[in-house]
Chain A
Amino acid sequence: MQVMFPSTFKVQRFIKETHDTFTIELKSLERKNGFNFEPGQFNMIYVFGVGEIPISISGDPYKSGILVHTTRAVGTVTKEMAKLKKDDIVGIRGPFGRPWPVKEAIGNDVLLVAGGIGLAPLRPVIYHVLANREYYGRIILLYGARTPQDILYKKELEKLKSRLDIDIIVTVDRAVKNWTGNVGVVTTLIPRAPFDPLNTTAMICGPEIMMRYTIVELLKRGLPKDSIYVSMERNMKCGVGFCGHCQYGTEFVCKDGPVFTYKEIEHLFGKREL
């Protein structure tokens, strides 16, 4: 049951992203070969004496020496995490879960639709597809945030915008006059987003309502249901399908997901009982 024992990681850097989100960069104290993961996978992070929670990995999968997590200070554990300082120690179990379909997307346009903190689990996909640029068609990121102040990885997005091989379109729900970007929900960007619907792999991450309406717009554009992938969030505890806390119909989100095709979970999606 090695999988149930956390290994220790030291905080290398703490980055405040927005007023309520932060990134921690961790280095393993035990794993000599670093930490390998696939985009979309998550870890169980143990803040000693407080509790353990699942958080997606948001770093570069090609930089195994450093483990990166971005989250929002919203619950008991994440609020304690927000107090972490350099050299503090946390426990990590993982990586767990089914990753984003970066291999299945080869040859296709890649459409990433992120809402709020949902950009964090998609960031490893951006690193991956840009590191393997020749294998993909157009790469489009549609990102919706609450306000301009809530935009995650702002500097990094600005840098990416200057590249000619990725389209980054950001929109916010609220803004005042000095904002020159888009205002409106992220779903409004889909009708004119530059992708070929029949040769596109779409990956969506954000609040479930946002994902539902994003799917509606993608289906209107003609994307097949099995080309649409979503990352589900449920109450994950063990990370390996033992405890059943994250059961979603016949699936366990921690083990069978968190990434699913829309076709796989269409019958469960939006069901109030689940």
Chain B
Amino acid sequence: MESLEKVLIQHPFVEGLPSEHIHLIVGCAKNVVFEPGKYLFKENEEANSFYIIRSGKVALEIYSPDVGSIIIQTLGEGDIIGWSWMVPPYQWRFDARAVELTRVIELDGTCLRNKCEADPGLGYEIMKRLASVFEQRINAMRLQLLDLYGKK
């Protein structure tokens, strides 16, 4: 657990949190490895965790019957995956597939959500950090939608 804490405190997501909050988060965390091709989660499954990628690459995908799986975005080392654990009805909206051997810290969303409910200070800090991830992803997604390199 101590080594997991060491890894976690270096990540921007928990940077600046007081040690008691970090202890609470670490209590919900574990190391997990995904072989290439394995899914971290699939669309419509219950969302009860989120992930910090330590190494590897994960593709966020959506399935279309006529095209197959369309990759919306890939995420790599240091990225965070998943906020559906925080938002009712707690269901994944996309598939997340390991493109290569991927090591993650998996955080138990239900455990963390309960701790956030019990400690609004922690809850606010987590929401601020998630909001920053949302902002980056939304900005990137908006640029992606512009089809910048298409014909003018």
Contacts and interface: CB of A to CB of B under 8 A. Distances in A.
Contacts, number: 78
A173 B144 contact: yes
A20 B150 CA distance: 10
Contacts of A1: none
B148 A74 contact: no
Given A74-B151, A174-B70, A176-B70, A183 B59 contact: yes
Interface stretch (A98-106, A134-142, A203-211, A261-269): A203-211
Interface stretch (B14-22, B72-80, B114-122): B72-80
B108 interface: no
Contact of A176 (B67, B74, B147, B149): B67
B69 A144 contact: no
Contact of B148 (A175, A177, A183, A207): A207
A187 B139 CA distance: 10
A150 B140 CA distance: 20
Interface residues of B, number: 28
Contacts of B139: 213
Contacts of B147: 146, 173
A127 B90 CA distance: 51
Nearest to B145: A173
B152 interface: yes
A146 B150 contact: yes
A176 B71 contact: yes
User: Top 8 closest A-B pairs, CB basis?
Assistant: A116-B149, A177-B69, A146-B149, A185-B143, A183-B71, A183-B74, A175-B71, A207-B148
Given A117-B149, A183-B73, A184-B74, 16 more contacts: A72-B151, A74-B152, A115-B148, A115-B149, A174-B144, A176-B67, A176-B70, A177-B61, A180-B99, A180-B100, A182-B57, A182-B76, A183-B74, A184-B73, A185-B140, A213-B139
10 contacts: A145-B149, A146-B150, A177-B68, A177-B70, A180-B100, A181-B74, A183-B74, A206-B149, A210-B148, A213-B143
Interface of A: 20, 72, 74, 115-117, 144-146, 150, 171, 173-177, 179-185, 187-188, 191-192, 206-207, 209-210, 213
